[in-house]
Amino acid sequence: MMLQYSPFFLPLIISALVTGALTAIGFRRREDPLMPPFILLMGATTLWTVCYAGQIAFADLETNIIFNSLEYPGIVTVPLAWLLLALAFTGRGYVITLRNTLLLSIVPAISTILAVTNPGNL
């Protein structure tokens, strides 16, 4: 593993700390109907940010592929979490059922599987 300097590393780590703290705060207030989608959004953003920071901090290809593979679930979860949060915020929380969430998760899951099993395209 070869480390390399990037001016983006420190802001990414600070962002990951903030979103991680927001995840923890949301988890403590999880009885609020807005919190489960918020926790999902902040957790996915934290994963994405931490893995991206690791990806730009290392110069070798193998480590970049590992971080990119770990980063991808966060990338594909953020749009789903935004949708769920918007539905909950606008009073349409009744649409957020386990069945609908699983149906909406099919495309992100397939995208993640395809990206992780074919690292040549990353």
How many Å apart are CA 52 and CA 17, to the nearest integer? 14
Cβ-contact 26, 35 below 8 angstroms: yes
Count of beta carbons in the 10 Å neighbourhood of residue 46: 21
pLDDT in tens, the chain (122 residues): 788 888 999 999 999 999 999 999 999 999 998 999 999 999 999 999 999 999 999 988 888 888 988 999 999 999 999 999 999 999 998 999 999 999 999 999 999 999 888 856 55
pLDDT at 19: 97
Taking the whole predicted model, whether its pTM rises above 0.85 is answered as yes
CA distance 104 to 16: 26
Closest C-alpha to 116, from 62, 71, 79, 52: 71
